[in-house]
Amino acid sequence: MKENGRKTYTYNKSMELFEKAATLIPGGIYGHMSPTAMVPGEYPYYTAEANGCRYKDIDGNEFIDYMCAYGPMVLGYGNPVIDGAAEAQRKMADTTNHPGPVMVELAEKLVDMVPIADWAFFAKNGGDMTTYATLAARAHTNRKKVITVRGHYHGVAPWCTSYGHGGVTAEDRQNTLQVEWNDLDGFRQMAKENRGEIAAFIAMPYHHITFGRQELPAEGYWTGVEKICREEEIVLILDDVRAGFRLNLGGSNEYFGFKPDLICFSKAVGNGYPISACVGKKELMTAASKVFFTGSFWMSAVPMAAALATLEELENTEAVKKMEKSGQLLIDGLVEIGQRHGLEINPSGPPAIPFIHFCDDPSLYLNQLFCSEVTKRGSFFHPHHNWFLSVAHDEIDIKETLNHAEEAMKAVKSALDGKSPCLAV
């Protein structure tokens, strides 16, 4: 399709490769990157190359990226400082019989940066750390149950995966209780009814669930939760896998004003190198040491060197401030475009991790239409999942994206043409 002499994107090569993949790999592409999670057929499926805040798919389309690999990219793809540190470590050693000295350096860096941290533990994925944290909490309290917030994502281990997904049994979930987000009374009640049985409460720092609006904690929510946890001797675990290092370098609890006992990090901590971390208070260190939890690649030194460099670079570039500023610019621009075209846009979440919904669009048809149209013009917007800013996004990139959004909005208006959104998408 052509627009102002410029073609909008097509994804023929992605589709072709996917056809082949589907004969070799269950689902073709599985998990959170499955095309089913976006608008299938209207998005790229495979990356060819990436640099800064941009990447190219295998059809040669270039995107300004607002998913940042679903969070890990925080300083730009191919960042020379991070890649340089990783390369220097690679030349020495990576996966061997022992960890490298860099493991101790990295632990020390995290303990320095994160106010609640007295120790640090490393693995690969966010889900490794949320499971580890709940095990450590159980070992510490000698209790079985864990309270979670309905809809919060902590990975794919059966204890935190919804019943109904393949292979998960009701028994897997029998020690996992659920409360609603921001429901302090509900939490208090549950803690009381299960007194002496709750090992941990685990939650994201704010409500950012796929398909939903992002909701910040209500006034007094986190301090209330913290108080109940202290009174009931429940370990308070912050799952900062997604938001970590985008709101506050000391953990998102510093941004919202509370002190958890354990924090799980991953995603942004290594700027794309595979590493996750759990940090905790010293009271939990002995219990944490009793949990047998490990993996073949968990001690690899290259991702640790990359993480160390990432943490330093986040400090040196005033990353948090910069991401907030560009996120705000993006959101203000989108809201203004919506207003001008008579389609009201409601932003939600902190500017560095923003998301949008259209007014009166509970089924997300308009999100699906608009985000895929923006993506076809060169800025990758996910229709169902919160977005991410990075330090590599400059004002000039945001302005280019707003131009894509302007054209996309016109395309949405013409597709709607008085029709209900469910007939237009």
Partner 1 sequence: MVLSESVLAAIYLKAVVPLLEDIAEIDEEVRDIIKDWNFNLQFQLPGGLHASSLLFKEGTVEAWRARSPGPAAVLTFSNAATLNAVFQGKSDKSPRPNLYGLFRLKELLKVDSLLKKIEYYLEPDEDLLSDPEAFSNCVRLTLYAMVYGVKVIGEEDPDMIPLARNLPRGIVEIRVKDGPAVHLEVENGLFNPGKGRAVEPCAYLEFEDLQSAWIMLQGEMDQFAAIGSKKVKIRGLIPLIDGINPILDRLSLYLSG
Nearest approach, Cβ of 164 to partner 1 (angstroms)? Answer: 4
* Cβ distance to partner 1 smaller for residue 42 or 128: 42
**Is residue 327 a contact residue for ligand PLP (CB under 6 A)?**
no
Binding residues among 125-154 for ligand PLP as defined by CB under 6 A: 125-127, 130, 153-154
Nearest approach, Cβ of 266 to ligand PLP (angstroms)? Answer: 5
**Is residue 80 a contact residue for partner 1 (CB under 8 A)?**
no
Q: Out of 187, 365, 370, 387, point to the residue binding partner 1 (CB under 8 A).
A: 365
Residue 163: DSSP 8-state: B
Nearest approach, Cβ of 341 to ligand PLP (angstroms)? Answer: 32
Distance CA 347, CA 234 (A): 34
**Is residue 204 a contact residue for ligand PLP (CB under 6 A)?**
yes
Residue 215: DSSP 8-state: B
CA-to-CA dists, residue 248 to 144, 180, 350, angstroms: 32, 25, 11
Q: Out of 1, 165, 414, 418, point to the residue binding partner 1 (CB under 8 A).
A: 165
Nearest approach, Cβ of 155 to ligand PLP (angstroms)? Answer: 4
Size of the site for ligand PLP (CB under 6 A): 12
CB 125 within 8 A of CB 290: no
* Cβ distance to partner 1 smaller for residue 271 or 368: 368
Distance CA 298, CA 311 (A): 19
Cα four-point dihedral sign 382, 386, 391, 393: positive
**Is residue 352 a contact residue for ligand PLP (CB under 6 A)?**
no
Binding mask 78-117 for ligand PLP (x = CB under 6 A): ----------------------------------------
CB 286 within 8 A of CB 123: no
**Is residue 37 a contact residue for partner 1 (CB under 8 A)?**
yes
Distance CA 422, CA 136 (A): 47
In degrees rounded to 5, what are phi and psi of residue 239?
-90, 95
Q: How many CA atoms lie within 13 A of 399 on its CB side?
A: 3
Distance CA 329, CA 309 (A): 28
- Please give the residue ranges that form the binding site for ligand PLP (CB under 6 A): 125-127, 130, 153-155, 204, 239, 241-242, 266
